[in-house]
Amino acid sequence: MEGEGGAQWHLADPEATTEWGRAWAPYLESGLVLTFSGDLGAGKTALIRGILRGLGVTGTIRSPTYALLEIYELSRLYCYHFDFYRINSPESLEDSGFRECFRSDSLCLVEWPEKVSTWLPPADVALMLEPAAGAGRLLQVRHTSVHGMKCLEPLLATSLPR
């Protein structure tokens, strides 16, 4: 896709993962689709929790593993947090109404996108978490749109540990 590129960061522990998300949150805008991949326990929810805290969510942040979707109405956008871990067939989502969440005034955070890849709109930014050699985890971030590149540029210019 146009503008495709990426970067990676080493995150020492769950707190560093959450903090990375919090640091990135101010640069996220409506209209973005972000996907989060990695094995169980890789840190996807910790990263999303940091993003949500950085966006101003103060209440309880639940993983939508069983509900499939948690909705956060924020002052500047609607935020939809999807977790498709329990989905075995993307076709089962056709009548769910979830497609309506992917709009220009929303930010969509999608865990387990590979489970629904044929149903999901293209991601602007794809994030992959995996264990790092030694300790911690490696966060690989790839933008696949100009909109995605724009929200990553400030982080690429910061001193966040790589």
161 within a domain of the structure (yes/no)? no
Mean pLDDT, the chain, integer: 86
51 within a domain of the structure (yes/no)? yes
Residue 38's pLDDT band, with cuts at 50, 70 and 90, is: very high
User: pLDDT tens digits, residue range 23-37?
Assistant: 999 999 999 999 999
Domain count, the chain: 1
Residue 76's pLDDT band, with cuts at 50, 70 and 90, is: confident
pLDDT at 161 (0 to 100): 53
pLDDT at 1 (0 to 100): 32
pLDDT at 22 (0 to 100): 95
pLDDT at 3 (0 to 100): 46
101 within a domain of the structure (yes/no)? yes
Domain of 118, in residue numbers: 5-156
137 within a domain of the structure (yes/no)? yes
125 within a domain of the structure (yes/no)? yes
pLDDT at 21 (0 to 100): 95
CATH number reported for the structural domain that contains residue 52 in this entry: 3.40.50.300
- On the question of pLDDT at 2 being above 60, the answer is no
Residue 62's pLDDT band, with cuts at 50, 70 and 90, is: confident
User: pLDDT tens digits, residue range 84-125?
Assistant: 888 877 777 776 778 888 999 999 999 999 988 888 899 999
162 within a domain of the structure (yes/no)? no
Contact 83, 93 (CB under 8 A): no
